[in-house]
Chain A
């Protein structure tokens, strides 16, 4: 004899990730590490910005570098003599809390003050996955075109600071960087948006100030 049964499951995969993210934050808080999830488009300057911050900030910094296939970015960070854990995400388009938890085990948390997590270059997928960081910084650049923000609103709704990089190239690529700023403000009125050029140094000090402010308010 067979019978048919209805089984309530009510298991949300997103909630499972968020739970892991909260656990990550507890691990970070235990060692008083402030963590920044750096998201953004491919090639927008995430690695370059983190490298510059490592050299300029008066904090001990560690980096988790998420890379789709290579450990190329991890190698760049290592040259700055900071602890680096490379995460190969394989085919994945984003980091998730579980991957970060593994990386945290390999990171000497007691030796650092700030942990930057470079997410996979992608404006869509990381939105769904909290990592447990205290702050999310989105880095885009003018070379993606000035409709990038409109096309990917959610990532800007979920971020705490937006950097619009490579403004030195704006006129060369015919892009109105102010439109990008306004588009972000339209989606997220409270958020701070900073135009930068890592080539000329424009706006870089403001980014440091914004992160410092966030840390002290934290």
Chain B
């Protein structure tokens, strides 16, 4: 899987935002992972911890939020949460809960996104 390269991209994104905002330390980061990505959140979390070592991110609390799958059914026009067969991240088969159809457009569930970070910085440059 590509958790390592995604974790690296996430860390790069966080560091970029932290630097732009003159962070001295990063306290918390919130990451969103769509249920339809081929990413395993636990493995991702582990790799983020490894990559964080010795950086501003070292002591941050890392929060990973699952983003559920929302769809628009082309057959019955249902819009809302999909039925994902109770399956996990790797195998989610997207079904329309109203008509059981599979001809659906996915609206959410493919995210791998750094939502926000909480940082500590000195007052002067505020």
A→B interface (CB under 8 Å): 1-16, 91-94, 124-125, 127-128, 151-154, 157, 186-190
**Taking each of A4, A9, A151, which has the highest tally of chain B beta carbons within 10 Å of its own beta carbon?**
A9
- Mask of B85-126 contacts with A, CB within 8 angstroms, 1/0: 000001111100000001100000011111111111111001
Return chain A residues, CB-CB under 8 Å to B116: 6-10
Return chain A residues, CB-CB under 8 Å to B122: 1-3
Known contacts A2-B123, A127-B38, A187-B102; A9/B114 CB under 8 A: yes
Is B14 on the interface with A (CB-CB < 8 A)?
yes
Interface of A is mostly: mixed
- Mask of B14-29 contacts with A, CB within 8 angstroms, 1/0: 1001100101100100
Nearest chain B CB to A82 CB, angstrom units: 29
- Mask of B38-70 contacts with A, CB within 8 angstroms, 1/0: 110000000000000000000000000000000
Return chain A residues, CB-CB under 8 Å to B37: 14, 128
| A-B contact list, 27 entries, CB within 8 Å | A2-B123, A3-B121, A3-B122, A5-B126, A7-B17, A7-B23, A7-B117, A7-B119, A8-B115, A10-B115, A10-B116, A11-B113, A11-B114, A12-B112, A14-B37, A14-B111, A124-B38, A127-B38, A128-B38, A128-B39, A128-B110, A128-B112, A151-B91, A154-B36, A154-B38, A187-B93, A189-B103
Q: Are A14 and B118 in contact (CB under 8 A)?
A: no
Give the residue name and chain of the B residue nearest to A4 (CB).
B120
Return chain A residues, CB-CB under 8 Å to B118: 4-7
Q: Are B102 and A9 in contact (CB under 8 A)?
A: no
Is B77 on the interface with A (CB-CB < 8 A)?
no
Task: Given contacts A3-B123, A14-B110, list 5 more A-B pairs with CB under 8 A.
Answer: A7-B118, A10-B113, A12-B32, A153-B93, A154-B36
Instruction: Give the interface size bracket for B toward A.
Output: 35 or more
Return chain B residues, CB-CB under 8 Å to A127: 38
Q: Are A2 and B120 in contact (CB under 8 A)?
A: yes
Known contacts A2-B123, A128-B38; A12/B2 CB under 8 A: no
Looking at the complex, which one of A4, A6, A15, A125 makes contact with B1 (CB distance below 8 Å)?
A125
Is B9 on the interface with A (CB-CB < 8 A)?
yes
What CA separation (Å) do A14 and B33 show in the bound complex?
10
Return chain B residues, CB-CB under 8 Å to A8: 115-116
Q: Are B114 and A5 in contact (CB under 8 A)?
A: no
What CA separation (Å) do A205 and B114 show in the bound complex?
47
Q: Are A9 and B111 in contact (CB under 8 A)?
A: no
Return chain B residues, CB-CB under 8 Å to A3: 120-123, 126
Give the residue name and chain of the A residue nearest to B29 (CB).
A9
Q: Are B102 and A157 in contact (CB under 8 A)?
A: yes
What CA separation (Å) do A10 and B9 show in the bound complex?
14
Return chain B residues, CB-CB under 8 Å to A128: 2, 37-39, 110, 112
Nearest chain A CB to B31 CB, angstrom units: 10
Q: Are A4 and B27 in contact (CB under 8 A)?
A: yes
Return chain A residues, CB-CB under 8 Å to B81: none
Q: Are A13 and B13 in contact (CB under 8 A)?
A: yes
Give the residue name and chain of the A residue nearest to B119 (CB).
A5
What CA separation (Å) do A69 and B41 show in the bound complex?
27
